[in-house]
Structure 1
Amino acid sequence: MEKIVWAVDGSFFGQRVSGIQRYSIELLSALDAIVPPGLVEVVTPSGVRAPVYENIRTVTFGTRKGLAWQQRDYPAYLKQRGAKGLATCNVIPVFGFRGIAVVHDVCYRARPDFYTDLRGRISAAWHRLQYRRIAGVAEHIITVSEFSKSEITRYYGVAPEKISVVYNAWQQMQRIAPDEQIFKKEPRLRRGEYYFSMANLLKNKNFPWVLRAARNKPDAVFAIAGGGSLEEEAKRLGLADLPNVVYLGYVSDGEAKALMHHCKAFLFPTLYEGFGIPPLEAVACGAPRIYVSDTPCMREVYGDCAGYIDLKTNNGYVDDVTPPKCDAAQLLARYSWKKSARALLDVLNQASN
């Protein structure tokens, strides 16, 4: 029988690291420790450097960059090499792909109301095309939660047995040293006395809820990390003049770890997620409690270890959220990149056979 080689689209190594790229990076690193040599390789565009692995081969191929490389050079490599593709970031070549794809969520399909400006509509159209192609041509689909699996089945008619769940994890936080200097830079933040959230302008992150919570609880400090025009958005919402809100801008990983460790609670009032990793990272960093939205995805991932915000009735009242009775060790034990890598390797082996 012909030996199957799985060639990973490694273009994400040249992208800014967000949750999707982090998943790919950590999963491959853990997979390298258990995969037999010759089964998996990573192919990248020229100028994009992948890590040096023990058992995973790295290859540079093609002359294009960005999306053009992903859509033209990557499938050309698969054909030339006779390999199957492993695409871990929601996107496959529209033509010339056979293999396995990771779909982290189908938010663009499930919540089109989040994407109403021109850029959002274009992005939504592109991703919905990708979801349809993946559903139609991928030999198998990996996603990050049972909730996301059910959404793929619901919207794209993919049989459940064609989808495997490979969870996110948190061990990357162990490699980060906390940077306590953030408290000197922001003297309004007293350890153990502030609520912390990480925000952006994506509608699913529900940044306005945090502002309303700050307005409704003026005696507490709310620290908000994140780039973009958060303060401008606060002005647009009529919630700019809140003296108890501290806008931190972009923070380093070390600063984020310190902020998570010393916060009173970590807030994550998301409207839609495929997994929702920040609260898990917060628990790993020592946050005493996490408050998340009351959605099926959050219930699946966090169980009894979170306080749940009913966004249908709670318009920004932290005190109305029941504190969780969290066994942090039990929660963290559910998720590891080693477990996820073993699950991925099982999928690769089954698909190879």
Structure 2
Amino acid sequence: MSRYAVDGYFFTQQVSGIQRYAIELLAELDKLLDPGELELVVPPDTHTPDYANITVVPYENAVLAGRGTSWEQQDFPRYLAKSGRRWLCLCNVIPLWSSGSEGIAVLHDVCYKARPDFFTDLRGRMSAAWHCTQYNAIAAKAKRIVTVSEFSKSEIMRYYHVAPDRITVIYNAWQHMERVFPDPMVFGEHTKWPRLKPGEYYFSMSNLMKNKNFPWVLRAAQRKPEAVFAIAGGGSLTEEAEALGLDHLPNVVYLGYVTDGEAKTLMKHCKAFVFPTLYEGFGIPPLEAIACGAPRVMVSDTPCMREIYGEHADYIDLKTNDGNVDDFTPGRDAAAVLQRYSWAESARRMLTLLREDTL
């Protein structure tokens, strides 16, 4: 049986969907592993959970110590060479210069390759160049590639000609939201957002990545001035709205970054959770919204969203719908979709890969 070491740099990063996947998989894997079977290698002074069976290894090479990309590309592969372990990389990045073609990589999506039109400024082009370098390396070096949907698997095969038997689909899940306590102050006397009333607002979580399609939500607010649209995300969303000429909409409430507890309350009490994405490998926010009790989720009508949410979401046809939340294909029984996804089952599938004799 092969022994693996996890690139744990993601524990130093802000948690988004990619980091969430890594954190939750390891938490469930820890319940299944033998003691010492898997190591988690992290930069010194990195805070990690207390595991029962995963061994946490703070590591820094005294000569070539670094942080960020340099740690992942210098320190981590040096530890691999020293320990003789193979790499398990959960967040789209592998050590480019590790010896041999050995390891398992999770490649969540290939958006930077599939949609270069999303990354047209200098920063975007530089980011795309780095990620596409990683995609190429993963396709060439990984013994096994894990991805998060059949759609993403088909994209990896399409753009990088990887044989289908090298790619395993291991889905995201939602059970982490059960540990989140809803914030009772969202609608309390001293709320930060007095305009929000339970059941009377559309809720969206966005950022400036073009695939999130933030302008669509603004156009929806423009078309439906009698409804309130609450948008969570970074403060620069207001600057983007200004650049689009849509900063004047009085029915849009910018929430800024919200805590998990605030998000859970906002999801539960919204009129609908709106997710008009243009491209995703999985798309976890609507699943989280359903888990929190959102009465409806409205998602874009794309192959990935159809795969993940089936008949249990309301679908927006972005080819014909430019901001109309009343024009959609209705879904049925949104909560039923939760039965399809489990971190525990995803961890069991990952454990099977870790223990394969052929690797």
* TM-score bucket of the superposed structures, by smaller chain: over 0.9
Which residue is equivalent to 1:348?
354
C-alpha displacement of 1:327: 4.3
| Structure 2 spans left out of the alignment, 5+ residues | none
Which residue is equivalent to 2:257?
250
Contact 2:2 2:355 in 1 (8 A): no
- CA shift in 2, pair 1:351/1:166, >3 Å: farther
Q: Which moved more, 1:281-290 or 1:318-327?
A: 318-327
C-alpha displacement of 1:352: 5.6
Whole-angstrom CA distance in 2 between matches of 1:252 and 1:51? 20
Which residue is equivalent to 2:87?
85
Task: Decide which of 132, 135, 140 is 1:136's aligned counterpart.
Answer: 140
CA RMSD of aligned residues (A): 1.1
Whole-angstrom CA distance in 2 between matches of 1:280 and 1:72? 37
Cα shift readout 1:219-262 (whole Å, capped 9, x = no counterpart): 11100011141111111111111111111111111110000000
Task: Decide which of 4, 29, 32 is 1:31's aligned counterpart.
Answer: 29
Contact 1:263 1:288 in 2 (8 A): yes
Which residue is equivalent to 2:181?
177
Which residue is equivalent to 1:109?
113
Whole-angstrom CA distance in 2 between matches of 1:256 and 1:327? 18
SS of equivalent residue, structure 1 residue 158 = coil
Contact 1:289 1:326 in 2 (8 A): no
Equivalences for residues 49-68 of structure 1 within 5 A: 49-62=47-60, 63-68=65-70
The letter of the residue matching 2:48 is: A
Q: Aligned residues: percent identity?
A: 65
Which residue is equivalent to 2:152?
148
The letter of the residue matching 1:259 is: L
The letter of the residue matching 2:180 is: I
The letter of the residue matching 2:251 is: N
Whole-angstrom CA distance in 2 between matches of 1:148 and 1:120? 21
Which aligned segments of 4 or more residues in structure 1 are displaced greater than 6 angstroms? none
Which residue is equivalent to 1:335?
341
Contact 1:4 1:352 in 2 (8 A): no
| Structure 1 spans left out of the alignment, 5+ residues | none
What is the count of residue pairs matched by the alignment? 350
Asked whether 1:99 is paired with 2:103, we answer yes
C-alpha displacement of 1:322: 3.1
C-alpha displacement of 1:199: 0.9
C-alpha displacement of 1:38: 2.7
SS of equivalent residue, structure 1 residue 305 = coil
Contact 2:296 2:334 in 1 (8 A): no
SS of equivalent residue, structure 2 residue 356 = helix
* TM-score, structure 1 normalization: 0.97
Cα shift readout 1:106-164 (whole Å, capped 9, x = no counterpart): 00000000001101000000000000000001110000000000000000000010000
Which protein has the bigger helix share? 1
